[in-house]
Amino acid sequence: MKIRIVFFFITVVAYAQNDTIHLLDEVKIYGNFSPAINSGYQVQILTDSTINSRQQSLGTLLQNKANLYFKQNGFGMVSSISLRGSGASHTGVYWNGIAINSSLNGQTDFSTFSANSYNRIEIRKGGGSILFGSGAIGGAINISDQIIFTRKKETQINLALASYNTQKTLASSQYGNQSFYAKMVVEGKRSDNDYPYLGTELVNENGNYQNYHIKAVLGYVINSNNQLHLFATHSNNDRNLSRTLTASSRSKLKNKENRLLLDWKNFGASYNSSLKLAYLNEEYNFFFNKTSSDFSFGKSNNFIVKYNYTYFFNNTLSIHSGVENTYSTANGTNLKNEDRNNVEAYLLVHQKPLKQLRYNISLRKGFSSVYEIPFIYAADLKFSVSPQVDINANFSTNYRLPTYNDLFWNPGGNPDLLAEDSTTGEIGFGYHSKKITLSLGAYSTKSNNLIQWRPVTGTFWRPVNVQDVSSYGVEFDMGIQHQIGIHQLSLQATYAYTVSKDNTLDKQLIYVPFHKSNAILTYQHKGLSINYNEQYTGKAFTTTSNTQSIAAFWLSNIEIYKTVLKQQLTVGLSVNNLWNTAYESIAFRPMPNRNFELNINYKF
């Protein structure tokens, strides 16, 4: 197994030749995350060599490899994303193209989502509600399995032992031929997670967790124009909720998710289409006291029918359209039986009038049984100044629809809430050569009617469309590849400057650091791979008045892998928090001290 860390910055990947074929194939395989129809956006792609190198949560992976910022309630606890200074429910998260943010709170817990067995993760920063729907304001992240119809038979076993009595196991088997593909994955993790709080006598009490995931992927070629893809996952997480520096905890949270997706792909010489039928089910049980049988719960079901159709008029012009119906239900301790139906449709025109220029114009409208869904529109373009240099720009309007908790939580839910709306624009510059890639971009976003839970009395809170936020920032990415004989060196470095202000208070939002940076240095020689990762997270305010903050921190990780036995066996050693830094992601919730992981991967 070759461990290679390769970042493709699609803004700088040229599609100079065979454009239409590329476009058609891209859209066929990657749907709306296809870089081709995201001309004016940065789409960063993590491939399976990066994703599968270790067993880790999606949040840890994206933090280490993609410079994304997460707020984590201590290691293994609930972890939420903030992309470009936006809120936890302002990043759309997709599983094989299906939106999976919780219908209850609008978020994904990046701590419990296991990323290991997926093939590809696309990270598209910037507004994307037209192609991706509600919530894609700061950006959109798609986690996907790839079905490839070639002869293949492979089984992989991965075992890891780590600090704090942590064990991880993964077994994955795939089989493929010209017309059939099957993959099965079973994985489980458990940990005492009782790391010491550096500088205190406390340890991370009540932080133990265990989880397992089962996944099946099937593909079938009906004929040269039709394929069926089936994806099914079940995940089960059981964790205690850890203490803080000042408060002990006896709480426990259980989560269960089931996802099922059938995708019928039909394509011809000048069109392709995809009909998706999906069922998503989520449930949580919260135990205030883990020894008690009393718990509160919430659950929801989503039934999704989604049809995408793309038509290619000629080499330079295509239309991409979609219509989607989502029927969902929810109930729980604080939710009566509620349901809603949303139907939404979009249209995108892609044109390449000049060899150097491509652009998209798009719009979307939806209707709902509970609220009004705004009409939104967008445009983006990419202009290639030279084969090495290009400029991209985009403008979009976006929305986030209220969640079940916002609308119906008892007590407090507000059924009169409006959709949040957001307008964003971005301009970027990219350079790429064989050895160097550079990209520099700036964006500005204005969000209105953001939903905030506000106190009516000390104990009674209610969500209202009250917050206006202005965000802007600069992002810089750099990649350098260097080869000396058979020694390979690469460096990936990123830096983001983020301002996100509450316009009423004229203060930076809490938990949005101004500065965030990441560097990954990789050395490869024969079967040896060394990967050093250094992260900087600037200080972040913890009060809305910006009077208190958590400190900035540097975090270093190192991974060393050696592949032996005809590339069948890989042994890896990782040291996380190499310099034993005391740091917090959320105030009063210390993160782990220096810790170790031994990883063995066997393929046959």
Partner 1 sequence: MNKLKLLSILFLTLLFTYSCNNDDTTAPLPLGDYENGYFITNEGPFQNGSGTLTFVDDDGTVTQNIYKTVNNEDLGNIVQSMTLYGDRAYIVVNNSHKVVVANRYTMEKQGTIEGDDIQNPRSFVAVGNVGYISNWGDASNATDDYIAVVDLLSNTVTDKIPVGEGPEDMLVDGDVIYVNLQGGFGQNNEVEVINIDDNTTSTPITVGDVPNTITKDASGVIWVLCGGKPSFTGSETNGSLIKIVNNTITSFDFGDTDHPANLSIDGNQLYYNLNGKVYAMSTTASELPTAEISGLDGFYYSMTTNNGKLYATDAGNFASEGTLKVYNLATNALETTITTGIIPGSVVFQ
* Residue choice 292, 369, 433, 567 for contact with partner 1 (CB under 8 A): 292
How far, in Å, CA of 484 to CA of 175, rounded? 38
DSSP of 124-188: EES--HHHH-TTTTSEEEEEE-----S-EEEEEEEEEEETTTEEEEEEEEEEE-SSEEEEEEEEE
Q: Which is nearer to partner 1, 419 or 587 (CB)?
A: 587
DSSP of 338-393: EEEEEEEEEEEEEEEEETTEEEEEEEEEEEESSSEEEEEEEEEEEEESSSSEEEEE
289 lies in the binding site for partner 1 (CB under 8 A): yes
Q: How many CB atoms lie within 10 A of CB 254?
A: 16
245 lies in the binding site for partner 1 (CB under 8 A): yes
Q: Which of residues 529-558 bind partner 1 (CB under 8 A)?
A: 542-545, 547
Q: How far is the CB of 463 from partner 1 (least distance, A)?
A: 13
247 lies in the binding site for partner 1 (CB under 8 A): yes
510 lies in the binding site for partner 1 (CB under 8 A): yes
Q: What is the 3-state secondary structure (H, E, C) of 269-317?
A: CCEEEEEEEEEEEEEEEEECCCCCCCCEEEEEEEEEEEEEEEEECCCCE
Q: Which is nearer to partner 1, 314 or 459 (CB)?
A: 459
155 lies in the binding site for partner 1 (CB under 8 A): no
Q: Is 36 helix (H, G, I), strand (E, B) or coil?
A: helix
Q: What is the contact mask toward partner 1 in residues 8 to 47, using x (rule: CB under 8 A)?
A: ----------------------------------------
How far, in Å, CA of 127 to CA of 234, rounded? 30
Contact of 545 with 502, CB cutoff 8 Å: no
588 lies in the binding site for partner 1 (CB under 8 A): yes
* Residue choice 224, 269, 314, 460 for contact with partner 1 (CB under 8 A): 460
Q: Which of residues 386-415 bind partner 1 (CB under 8 A)?
A: 410-412
Contact of 500 with 513, CB cutoff 8 Å: no
**Backbone phi, psi, residue 27, to 5°:** -65, -35
* CA dihedral sign of residues 443, 444, 449, 451: positive
457 lies in the binding site for partner 1 (CB under 8 A): yes
* Residue choice 587, 592, 593, 599 for contact with partner 1 (CB under 8 A): 587
How far, in Å, CA of 205 to CA of 197, rounded? 10
Chain-centroid distance, C-alpha 71: 14
Q: Which is nearer to partner 1, 50 or 73 (CB)?
A: 73
- Beta pairing class for 98-99 and 91-95: antiparallel
Q: Which of residues 427-456 bind partner 1 (CB under 8 A)?
A: 454-455
* Residue choice 18, 165, 226, 248 for contact with partner 1 (CB under 8 A): 248
Q: Which is nearer to partner 1, 98 or 335 (CB)?
A: 335
Q: Which is nearer to partner 1, 458 or 485 (CB)?
A: 458
* Residue choice 17, 151, 294, 566 for contact with partner 1 (CB under 8 A): 294
Query: Which single residue is written with the structure tokens 């220096």?
Result: 594
Q: How far is the CB of 253 from partner 1 (least distance, A)?
A: 14
Q: What is the contact mask toward partner 1 in residues 190 to 229, using x (rule: CB under 8 A)?
A: ----------------------------------------
Q: Which is nearer to partner 1, 74 or 126 (CB)?
A: 74
Tokens linked to 503: 């316009």
Contact of 437 with 485, CB cutoff 8 Å: no
Q: Which is nearer to partner 1, 61 or 587 (CB)?
A: 587
Strand pairing partners for 368?
342
Q: Compute how many residues bind partner 1; rule: CB under 8 A.
A: 29
Residue 322, CB-side half-sphere exposure with 13 Å CA sphere: 27
Q: How far is the CB of 158 from partner 1 (least distance, A)?
A: 34
464 lies in the binding site for partner 1 (CB under 8 A): no
Q: How far is the CB of 294 from partner 1 (least distance, A)?
A: 5
Q: How far is the CB of 59 from partner 1 (least distance, A)?
A: 18
* Site of interaction with partner 1 (CB under 8 A): 73, 244-248, 288-289, 292, 294, 296, 410-412, 454-455, 457-458, 460, 510, 542-545, 547, 586-589
